[in-house]
Amino acid sequence: MNESAQPPVLRTEPISAAGTPPERWVAILHGIFGAGRNWTTVARRLVRARPEWGALIVDLRQHGGSRGFAPPHTLAAAAADLPRAFAATGLPVRAVLGHSFGGKVALELVRSHAESLALESLWLVDSPPGAHAPGGSAWEVLEALRRAPGPFPGREAGVSALRGLGVAEGVARWMTTNLEERSNGWVWRIDPEDMEQLLGDFFRQNLWGVVENPPPGLDLHVVKADESSALDEEACRRVEAAVARSGRVHLHRVAGGHWVNADNPDAMLELLESALP
């Protein structure tokens, strides 16, 4: 008798301070064109400063080392992957930090799976909770990937191709972390079709209900990067109203752009050091 194939498990990387077994773990979820490695520097600094915490770096479905996941690729599917991944590690995950797309995955995780988890702290880093029409720099990069699929003779050729399609220099260079060398040249390791499904659902879903009424026992921290428009002032006012109604919602403003983990890691570290339980 043939047994149905088991779904794959997300790739995770546990990081902890040398010689100190962590009591609790924070799972870190990256943005739409990223991977867990984008947050490694912040994670390593955090566990040195708060050695009772470990950091679990996660590659979300169809990113980094997490491949072979079946469609549909939605926020609900991405969130449903997480409890299985946490269970596979055997680690007590008590907090989740999500950046941009990863923040909305974290909100869906709480909305759909809070009862099966024991989360104490949720962090949304420059991540808009509401529904919006598709657009912005991420959507523009997605279109550029479709028009410049490669292969390229080298990373610089990938940068030039994206720049020629209107992608900003810094973003184009950062995107080359998604290039991998194969026998025919350098190609994108992310699939634009998969990214469109995930990003499209990111824009469709409205998860303000979790922000405005977090489950009992959960502290929710919203981080606004001051030089980014991802979380606009109207959204910040709505968060501030939730702060006023509840002692469990918090708004933090930090200097820097959308990739605050790279722009201002000191600020992120200071927040996490002081506000993690």
List pLDDT tens digits, range 167-218.
999 899 999 889 999 999 999 999 999 999 999 999 999 999 999 999 999 9
Report yes or no on 247 lying in a domain: yes
Number of domains in the chain: 2
Q: Are 78 and 105 in contact (CB under 8 A)?
A: yes
Report yes or no on 52 lying in a domain: yes
| Residue range(s) defining the domain that contains residue 182 | 136-194
In this structure, are 182 and 243 located in the same domain? Answer: no
Report yes or no on 200 lying in a domain: no
With CA atoms as reference, report the closest residue to 248 among 258, 238, 257, 239.
Answer: 239
Residue 4 binned pLDDT confidence (cut-offs 50, 70, 90): low
Across the range 7-36, mean pLDDT stands at 96
In this structure, are 178 and 123 located in the same domain? Answer: no
Report yes or no on 36 lying in a domain: yes
Across the range 137-158, mean pLDDT stands at 93
Residue-averaged pLDDT of the chain: 94
In this structure, are 52 and 108 located in the same domain? Answer: yes
In this structure, are 92 and 216 located in the same domain? Answer: yes
> Distances from the Cα of 216 to the Cαs of 91, 104, 107, 219, in angstroms?
22, 19, 14, 9
Residues 6+ apart with CB under 8 A from 203: 131, 132, 133, 134, 135
Report yes or no on 37 lying in a domain: yes
Show the tokens assigned to 79.
């969130």
In this structure, are 223 and 113 located in the same domain? Answer: yes
Label residue 62 exposed, middle or buried (CB < 10 Å: 0-12, 13-18, 19+).
buried
In this structure, are 29 and 98 located in the same domain? Answer: yes
pLDDT of residue 113 exceeding 90? yes
In this structure, are 226 and 97 located in the same domain? Answer: yes
In this structure, are 120 and 28 located in the same domain? Answer: yes
Q: Does the predicted model carry a pTM greater than 0.75?
A: yes
Q: What is the DSSP string of 173-210?
A: HHHGGGEEEETTEEEESS-HHHHHHHHHHHHH---HHH
In this structure, are 111 and 155 located in the same domain? Answer: no
Give the lowest-confidence range in 1-10, 18-27, 60-69, 202-211: 1-10
In this structure, are 188 and 255 located in the same domain? Answer: no
In this structure, are 102 and 185 located in the same domain? Answer: no
In this structure, are 210 and 127 located in the same domain? Answer: yes
Q: What is the DSSP string of 208-234?
A: HHHHHSPPTT-EEEEEEETT-SSS-HH
Q: How far apart are CA 241 and CA 245, in angstroms?
A: 6
What CATH number is associated with residue 256? 3.40.50.1820
Q: Are 126 and 231 in contact (CB under 8 A)?
A: yes
Report yes or no on 86 lying in a domain: yes
Higher-confidence residue of 1 and 241: namely 241
pLDDT of residue 3 exceeding 60? no
Report yes or no on 71 lying in a domain: yes
Give the pLDDT of residue 2.
Answer: 47
